Structure 1
Amino acid sequence: MLARNSAIIFLNKNIKCLLITFVLINPAFVKGQGIRTKTEVEVAEMKLRRLGQTEKKVDLLVDLGTYYLNLPGEIKADLAKAMSIQQQALNLAGKIEYPKGIAMSTVLKGNILRESGDKIGSTKIYEQAIAFAGKMDLKDQLAAAYAAMGNLFGNEGKDLEKKIGYNEKSLALYRQTGNKLEEGNSLKNLGDYYNIKGQPAYAIKLMDSSLAAYKAIGFKELQGVYNNMCITNIGLGNFSNALKYGLLAEKTADQLADTSLQRSSINNHLGLTYYYLRNDQKALDYWLVAKKIAERYKDPGYMQTIVANVATILVRMKKFEEGIAALKELIRKYPPTDTQMKLRIPYILFNTYYDIEQYAKAEPYFKELQKFHHDLPKDDPNQIYLYRSIIRKLIHDKQFVAADGYLQEHEKQSLQQKNLLALSQLHRLWFDVDSALNKPWSAVAHYKTYKRLTDSIWNNEKNKQISGLEIEYQTKKKDKDIALLSQKNQLQKVTIENEGRLRYIFIAGLLIAAMFVGLIYNRYRLKRRSNLILEQKQGEINAQNELLRKILNEKEWLLREIHHRVKNNLQIVISLLNTQSAYLDNEDALVAIRNSQNRMHAMSLIHQKLYQSDNLAEIDMKWYIKELVDYMIECFGTDKIQFTLETEVIKLDVAQAVPLGLILNEAISNVIKYAFPDDKKGKVHISFLFMGEECCELKIADTGIGLPAGFDPDHTESLGMSLMTGLTEQLNGEIKMWNDDGLVLDVIFKRHNELITESSALLINKN
């Protein structure tokens, strides 16, 4: 358990390394595709010689300067070259009065100064860029300047808060300008920062939004976001998703032939995921590959992190001396420079010496950890691991009362971070403490909580990961197995037939030799062989039945997945329509889009319920009608209409549930929009009840203005009315409507399935 803890503290440190990779190594995440190879540099230099004093030349100079800035390492010659090109861009932009070029080249100058270590100088330049871009209303360039200013601050304490503040300003501006690429970059960076801050759940939301922004413009270099999603899910204890995103990052990097330092981070996170999934050899293999890449780039930050991980896995593999030696070599070659790595090394050494019961050697490292515990803020995410070390020491020293106090603090922080893994380990330690303090009932409660959390993290997540990631190749494998089984069955049939022929020839010979004795013997042999054949066939039948059962389970899983995908696709279409509506100012078009969104949501609810339910054939309309009405109320934001529902437990298949849901959607939309003009208050009663002989009745009655005089539903050009009529025909039902202190809409149809379910009426008031 304690060896596992050593790796957990790695998370925040690793994110720092990750940010360096994206901001400095991969310019595509900063300014679009840009110039990225030597060939592109040569082409750019040729274009510069041909271009006159134009805005395009300024843009190209900025891209070229960014290329030299982002070359690996901090080589002075590269920075000098970048600064020379920046000065050309700034001079030309000023000469031709190109405000955007002035702002871009000013930000580039600040980036160069920051990379060269001149924080004061870069701060002044960024302030100039912010003032100029704000004055000229250059929102994209102002956003870039805010993001660049944020990069001046570290990833701890108040610095991290300032960094987040600047990036949130940047994100707001990119959203105003509709710059999806930079919106994606900002969301990704904010996801990193909030994960460092100890808010992984919110970080996941930001990264999901980042992926959506990137995919909206067809941006393919998503390995960085997938990598960040992997590490954030590790922090949440969701190792199934961590493995999924880690493998996606690796696959995407392979497809794009990415050989940057980012590959070290991807391998590092996959190693960490396999570490938590208890696959020590795979974890070690990935970390060794990550170490080679970091060595090639001579990056001390990555080397510190990865070597510490390698030492951790060696300790868990009972190679204690090798692990300790690796850490001491790390201290000698790559002395830690930041707080987290300075804390992590004594943390691992303390727990390792405790694992091998060399308590005297562990003591100096414990004192270092105590100092960190007192110096760090109480809400620092790393306190959770310092608490664990202190608790372990107190338990060893039999100071159980003191340990109980630290356990309470440990629990508060674990709950704040939503760290299920830390919580499970905490309750296991609490069990030991309460047992020693003679609190048997409390000890049992903590042990039960420990088992529940452990089962939730390990068994459930691991099973999901296995079924989700292996399904792709298991299908092909099973097809081959089925073909091989068919061949074996065919061969077995031929063999059985040949054996039968030989047997009958042998029996015929025996009959000639001794008629009477041979006949008796033959009967005995036939009976014995028949039983054997029956047993063999029964075995084959059992095997086939087992195979069919497995195939049926797989088909059910695939059907559930199809409903899930259909629901997701409908949600995507809803989101696309929502995005499209932002670019329209035609009210009729906006109304049409909103109506389409509502209809799609009505269908999406059905597929959502089906894939979440054990019954993939039918949907409970009592639940569905309530959910759809709640959605429509929320969508239209009406509070002057009171809805009441009276529904029975009636289950319909998809073929009937979808048209009925769309009819209900159209009817409620019409009531809200037309039945109560001028914000008039009113009531709507919706009922869905059995009428006997499997007939169902949907009735919607309102207290509104009703149908206009002379209205003929059979001769109307209303799309909604046509839809309801057509959908009722699809149900093989009958639709009627009449005025009765308002409008009454009545749809009667016969349910398809023959199952009779118990029903009970329920009256629900919605205000």
Structure 2
Amino acid sequence: MLNRNSPISILSMNLRFLFIIVILISPVLSKGQGIRTKLEAEEADKQLRRLGQTERKVDVLIDLGTYYLNLPGELKTDLATAMNIREQAFALAGKIEYPKGIAKSMVLQGNIVRESGDKPKSTKMYEQAIAYATKMGLKDELAEAYSAMGYLFGNEGKDLDRKISYNEKSLALYRQTGNKLEEGNSLKNLGDYYNIKGQAAYAIKLMDTSLSVYKAIGFKELQGVYNNMCITNISLGNFSNALKYGLLAEKTAAQLSDTSLQRSSICNHLGLTYYYLRNDQKALDYWLEAKTIAEKYKDPGYMQTVIANVATILVRMKRFDEGITVLKEMVSKYPPTDVQMKLRIPYILFNTYYDIGQYAKAAPYFKVLMKFHRDLPNEDPNQIYLYRSIIRKLIHDKQYVAADGYLKAHEKQSIEQKNLLALSQLHRLWFDVDSALNKPWSAVAHYKTYKRLTDSIWNNEKNKQIAGLEIEFQTEKKDKDIALLNQKNQLQKVRIENEGRLRYMFIAGLFIAVLVVGLIYNRYRLKKQSNLVLEQKQAEINSQNELLRKILEEKEWLLREIHHRVKNNLQIVISLLNTQSAYLDNEDALVAIRNSQNRMHAMSLIHQKLYQSDNLAEIDMKWYIKELVEYMIECFGTARKIKFELITDEVKLDVAQAVPLGLILNEAISNAIKYAFPDDRKGNVRIAFVEMENNACKLSISDDGIGLPENFNPEDTESLGMSLMTGLTDQLNGKIDMWNDDGLTLEVSFVRHGEYQDAGV
């Protein structure tokens, strides 16, 4: 029946709420410049006394006002101080005719008013700032105003869409001005918003881009991005990545001595990750640490989240009374004010009382959940958790037919949200319902889906932890497979020799039988005996032939399995390199690792195709080139910047030629993406692979980029990529040429091996 201690049954619904909490603290934490500490504020005060009526003084005043605005606690005295400093900045900027200072002070005024709770007034101020910045052509300040306007809107429905729209406008302007720091901030914020919207995969891409931008400018305060990457990967079910980014966030925060509320957020998300990894003690430890930090800031919303998590883990550790007590104390001390927490508390209590079989105590909380179910729109993401509670009660009440509609609605939302955890538990519930309704085939199908999804989720999480052992195991297994294959080949040779001996024996026996027939009295009996011997021999021959057929099938399976193992080993190495890159700060090393990953992926595709194909001798190059190009586009994120055109014939190559050709193509595409279109230029890359006469083949990669520098000599360059392409061309016994023609054209010609065709393969 229902798995009461599953991570989905109690905790999953707070993922979205946790991310909203991250968003609420992000305006304070996302900035990587300005005044951050009390010591810096005191130094700014001293600096103001020395500065005259200058633009620099306006900038320092705005930074100081922002510092007081961002102090924790939202005290009226701090807001009043911030507003007073803002008035000084605005007056001085107007006096010295400093448009940027005027625009910045207008945005700061809107921020202060927004923080005080006057949304209509702050909206008007932002609109004035937008109009002024537009009129004066101040793109940076206009972007800042758009970003600030976005904070006025909530994190649901049309409000979230408007927030995203304002931040996308802001991002476009920062890219135009080359403001990399704010570009990184905008990308990070958009990643947050798209994750709330349910587009976690796209959010990951935005955050990856944000990390690249931050690292390019040497920005060190990456704990916020890592923290958001952690929670986004949790929502995708990628717990190994979630743990990696959570630990990176913790490490970065410790290095920077970050003791802000964000540190509590990091501990909270690490606890959530360990919760899903079923390491209950570590989850509890991190959540208690998050609670200790959050208590210093007296933030009710965040305290509610952390304490609810503590209650949840206590319940799963079967400390039910402690969990219920902690949760009820939290409600009395920090009464929930938002819909998310008002829903989450009865959700936890209902499921907890059902876990311990106290159904009467669960009943009032179920009524609250049903009210939320009726009041919330069907498309609301929270409905998925309400569906699960309703289904659980219907199963307990044996109302299996009534559960069918909720199961289908649950499935629809799980698929839309790409929530593998929710989907796997849904099929487990469906198995219970179909079993009770005597639908064995449907029940089995749902159980298989549940196991497949569960195995997929947890296998992903184990990969990182057992990678070293897996490499050792796979290598040893590969050696054993090769030895077994050799042994099978020897056995096949011996049996073929035995078959020849049997054939000769049969001929000799038949000859003797013919001679004896005319000479011996019992000719008939001997003839009958000879026929019996003949039948026995034929049966043995048939048996041997069938055995040989099975051996050949086993050999083919072993060859396919070897390709599968090689592909897996390459993927493991790629994953290890990816993990290693997260701990490197040296850009050259990171580039080298990414290049190595691309090269190994080029080889991995070949072994993957051989494993999946019935033809173990040759690779379909049309398929291979298409797959490799799509991978490179996804890897470098150039779909909008560079258009690729593919012209490929139906050509098949053996592994010995496909591997070096794939590596040449990998290097050529990488060089085109990296160097052909600098400064965000757009362009086209044309890839052609055609077969000519006499088994000759030609690979051509051309672009309309900046081309090679004048007097460039490929033989004199020390480039690893160029050396690789030259060496790989020699391995093909081919010829490589390159020239400028409205861009760079690289051409590799070689003769295709023809022995497979000659052999009739």
TM-score (norm 2): 0.72
Distance 1:666 1:435, change over 3 A: closer
- Secondary structure class of the residue paired with 1:357: coil
Residue in 2 that maps onto 1:331: 331
Residue in 2 that maps onto 1:406: 406
2: distance between equivalents of 1:620 and 1:214?
46
- Equivalence map 1:238-637=2 (5 Å): 238-458=238-458, 460-467=459-466, 561=573, 565=577, 606-610=599-603, 622=619, 627-628=624-625
Residue in 1 that maps onto 2:19: 15
2: distance between equivalents of 1:406 and 1:128?
49
- Residue-by-residue CA offset, 1:556-604 (whole Å, 9 max, x unaligned): 96995369749999xx9xx99xxxxxxxxxxxxxxxxxxxx9xx99997
Q: Which amino acid aligns with 1:607?
A: M
Distance 1:757 1:224, change over 3 A: farther
- Secondary structure class of the residue paired with 1:648: strand
- Secondary structure class of the residue paired with 1:699: strand
- Residue-by-residue CA offset, 1:402-440 (whole Å, 9 max, x unaligned): 101100000000000000000010000000111111111
Distance 1:146 1:622, change over 3 A: same
- Greater mean deviation of Cα atoms: 238-247 or 617-626: 617-626
Tell me, yes or no, if the aligned pair for 2:51 and 2:57 is still in contact at 8 Å.
yes
1: distance between equivalents of 2:627 and 2:760?
19
Q: Which amino acid aligns with 1:453?
A: L
Residue in 2 that maps onto 1:225: 225
Deviation at 1:93, TM superposition (A): 0.6
TM-score (norm 1): 0.71
2: distance between equivalents of 1:567 and 1:603?
13
Distance 1:267 1:745, change over 3 A: closer
Tell me, yes or no, if the aligned pair for 1:150 and 1:167 is still in contact at 8 Å.
yes
- Secondary structure class of the residue paired with 1:622: strand
Tell me, yes or no, if the aligned pair for 2:606 and 2:624 is still in contact at 8 Å.
no
- Residue-by-residue CA offset, 1:704-748 (whole Å, 9 max, x unaligned): xxxxxxxxxxxx9786899899658843836499xxxxx998535
Residue in 2 that maps onto 1:200: 200
Deviation at 1:620, TM superposition (A): 9.1
Deviation at 1:274, TM superposition (A): 0.6
2: distance between equivalents of 1:568 and 1:625?
33
1: distance between equivalents of 2:461 and 2:243?
10
Distance 1:605 1:203, change over 3 A: closer
Distance 1:260 1:700, change over 3 A: same
Percent of aligned positions that are identical: 60
Tell me, yes or no, if the aligned pair for 2:312 and 2:323 is still in contact at 8 Å.
yes
Tell me, yes or no, if the aligned pair for 1:171 and 1:187 is still in contact at 8 Å.
yes
Tell me, yes or no, if the aligned pair for 2:619 and 2:654 is still in contact at 8 Å.
yes
Tell me, yes or no, if the aligned pair for 1:315 and 1:323 is still in contact at 8 Å.
yes
- Secondary structure class of the residue paired with 2:619: helix
Tell me, yes or no, if the aligned pair for 1:12 and 1:196 is still in contact at 8 Å.
yes
Residue in 1 that maps onto 2:743: none
Deviation at 1:661, TM superposition (A): 7.1
Distance 1:163 1:438, change over 3 A: same
User: Which 5+ residue runs of structure 1 have no aligned equivalent?
Assistant: 475-552, 577-596, 668-678, 692-696, 703-715, 738-742, 763-767
2: distance between equivalents of 1:336 and 1:85?
35
Deviation at 1:451, TM superposition (A): 0.7
- Residue-by-residue CA offset, 1:133-181 (whole Å, 9 max, x unaligned): 1111111111111111111122223322222222122122212222221
1: distance between equivalents of 2:62 and 2:595?
50
Tell me, yes or no, if the aligned pair for 1:72 and 1:297 is still in contact at 8 Å.
yes
Distance 1:71 1:719, change over 3 A: same
Residue in 1 that maps onto 2:649: 644
- Secondary structure class of the residue paired with 1:415: helix
C-alpha RMSD over aligned residues: 4.3
1: distance between equivalents of 2:758 and 2:651?
12
1: distance between equivalents of 2:293 and 2:91?
40
- Secondary structure class of the residue paired with 1:686: strand
2: distance between equivalents of 1:602 and 1:23?
36
Distance 1:748 1:151, change over 3 A: same
Tell me, yes or no, if the aligned pair for 1:650 and 1:757 is still in contact at 8 Å.
no
Deviation at 1:606, TM superposition (A): 3.6
- Residue-by-residue CA offset, 1:315-357 (whole Å, 9 max, x unaligned): 1111111111111111100000100000000000111111111
User: Equivalent of 1:747, from 741, 750, 756?
Assistant: 750
Q: Which amino acid aligns with 2:463?
A: K
- Residue-by-residue CA offset, 1:15-73 (whole Å, 9 max, x unaligned): 1221232213x2xx23x411112221222122211211111111111111111111111
2: distance between equivalents of 1:270 and 1:428?
27
Q: Which amino acid aligns with 1:187?
A: L
Tell me, yes or no, if the aligned pair for 1:563 and 1:607 is still in contact at 8 Å.
no
Distance 1:95 1:661, change over 3 A: closer
Q: Does 1:120 align with 2:101?
A: no
Q: Which amino acid aligns with 2:651?
A: E
1: distance between equivalents of 2:671 and 2:210?
34
Q: Which amino acid aligns with 1:229?
A: M
Q: How many residues align?
A: 610
1: distance between equivalents of 2:237 and 2:464?
13
- Secondary structure class of the residue paired with 1:97: coil
Deviation at 1:124, TM superposition (A): 1.4
- Secondary structure class of the residue paired with 1:443: helix
- Secondary structure class of the residue paired with 1:309: helix
1: distance between equivalents of 2:85 and 2:712?
64
Tell me, yes or no, if the aligned pair for 2:190 and 2:203 is still in contact at 8 Å.
yes
Tell me, yes or no, if the aligned pair for 1:188 and 1:210 is still in contact at 8 Å.
yes
Deviation at 1:239, TM superposition (A): 0.9
1: distance between equivalents of 2:86 and 2:671?
60
Q: Which amino acid aligns with 2:697?
A: K
1: distance between equivalents of 2:209 and 2:453?
29
Tell me, yes or no, if the aligned pair for 1:606 and 1:624 is still in contact at 8 Å.
no
Distance 1:625 1:330, change over 3 A: same
Q: Which amino acid aligns with 2:690?
A: I
Tell me, yes or no, if the aligned pair for 2:229 and 2:242 is still in contact at 8 Å.
yes
Deviation at 1:2, TM superposition (A): 4.0
